[in-house]
Amino acid sequence: MTLDAVVTRGHPTFEQRAPAALADSQLRHNLRNATGTIRRRRAAAVGEMPDWQALREAGRAIKERTLRHLDHYLLQLEVAVERAGGQVHWARDGDEANAIVVDIVRRHGETAVVKSKSITSEETGLDAALSAAGITATETDLAELIVQLAHDTPSHILVPAIHFNRAQIRELFIRELGVPGLSDRPADLAEAARVYLRRKFLETRIGITGANFAVAETGTVCVVESEGNGRMVATLPDVLITLAGIEKVLPTWRDLEVFLQLLPRSSTAERMNPYNSFWTGVTEGDGPREFHLVLLDNGRTDVLRDEVGRQALRCIRCSACLNVCPVYSRVGGHAYDSVYPGPIGAILTPQLRGLAQAGSLPWASSLCGACYEVCPVMINIPEALVHLRGRVVREGQDARGLRGRLDPENVAMQAVALAFDDARRFEAAQRLLLWGAGPVTRAGAAPGGRGPLAAWTTLRDLPDLPGQTFRDWWRENR
């Protein structure tokens, strides 16, 4: 299955986007430094936990149980949030979620919001919807702010600005924030952002957050972070809106015990996040006076139908899989054309967006399995990738009208399966291959850049075949 054969409408394929990233040496340098540091620190933090594998299994089991009974827990969550004084809104897709948020902001007569934990809102395109409605959104996560000021898009789940280095951020802050004489010391860069954001926090009456978890039993929303901006967004504004995917729900308060150990070690290599914020509805005289929880489907219930692919919904957005992926470390996040890049994006995005829109992503992997080894909830990403590749081939054939007709790739695979199924047919195929290879070889190797193997042989030689198969040699010499 070549990527050119994938049915991909409206979006460039991974294969089309990757070459530009591979040619950017500065990008590869930035990624290598950042992901290498995160990997080493994560390994040390995980190594402190003698029961790490048991925690991973517990996380997997909780998520699996929740997904099997997702309808029950979502309704329980709605009741608990409303009992605590909050309001719950259901959004079938991104447009509906955006419309709900815009309507809430407009009803309060506001033209500005502050945001934190924004990855789900990036999935829906909320900032663009707010802008179209005349509402200014300020990203307050430091990396998200960098991306916003640069008019760029995130390239990493946890560190959206991972493709920038300190010098680039310094130049950006001098230009966009008007901070002359700024150095590229991390403390100075953070201080410049802090001064800029503090004014936004104090002036803005509506805050928008994502969610790490939402507890069905109590109606509690949980956000964990390292900077404190999420705490500001969740407590200072008069109105708080949380946009969360329906898979973020957990059954009970005690379930948080598992995930608050798994998530910080897997994501930021910390024993505990510096800021762990929990809110349950509204409390008189404490925090926002109005709370809205927008629960987003946007294809998630369709993902549930796929018994193999639905394990992607167990993801807790730790980004550990990105940091160990040899493909991501070389091309970065933009090549995936998705807010969910890396290995998890390669299985989640095609299911949320549709195989016709993102069918190239399951091939954005070497299938080395490193992502599965580090996943804190044991998502078998290689298994899901192979499964989705099969779906792309089958459904792509249907989309191109090739089902039941001669598809060259399908014919070739069927022929290989037929040969491998019988020893005599296999030996006959070997002899036929030896006979047919002679005319196309030259100087001990097949010429590259021509024929059906042109793309493969552009960067490597196809070695000449030996004059005798191993089976024939064995018969003569055993």
| 370 contact partners, CB below 8 Å, separation of at least 6 | 321, 324, 325, 326
Q: What is the CA radius of gyration of the chain?
A: 26
pLDDT in tens, 4-30: 444 445 567 898 999 999 999 999 888
Cα separation of 180 and 173, whole Å? Answer: 9
Which one is the CATH code of 37-300: 3.30.1330.10, 3.40.50.10420, 3.40.50.970, 3.40.50.300?
A: 3.40.50.10420
Specify burial of residue 41 (Cβ count, 10 A radius: 0-12, 13-18, 19+): middle
Mean pLDDT of 346-356: 94
Residue 111, token pair as written in the block: 């033209």
pLDDT per residue over 376-392, tens digit each?
A: 999 999 999 999 999 99
Q: Cβ of 83: how many Cβ atoms within 10 Å?
A: 12
Cβ atoms 211, 117 nearer than 8 A: yes
Q: How many residues does the chain have?
A: 478
* Cβ proximity of 337 and 20 under 8 Å: no
pLDDT of 84: 97
Query: How far, in Å, are 35, 100, 203 from residue 173 at the CA level?
Result: 24, 33, 21
Q: Domain ranges for the chain, please list them.
A: 37-300, 422-477
Closest CA relative to residue 328, chosen from 316, 312, 348, 345: 345
Query: Are 298 and 94 within 8 A, CB to CB?
Result: yes
Q: What is the mean pLDDT of the chain?
A: 90
Distance of CA 449 to the CA centre of its chain: 34
Tell me which of 63-67, 375-379, 447-451, 467-471 is least confident.
447-451
- What pLDDT is stored for residue 123 in this prediction? 96
Q: How far apart are the first and last CA of the chain?
A: 40
Put residue 178 in one of left, alpha, beta given phi > 0 → left and psi -120 to 50 → alpha.
left
Q: What are phi and psi of 4, to 5 degrees?
A: -65, -25
Gap between the Cα atoms of 392 and 355, Å rounded: 6
From 32-46, 72-86, 215-229, 448-462, the region with the lowest mean pLDDT: 448-462
Burial 403-419 (b: 16+ CB within 10 A, else e): eeeebeebeeeeeeeeb
pLDDT of residue 441: 54
- Please say if the pLDDT value at position 1 is more than 50: no
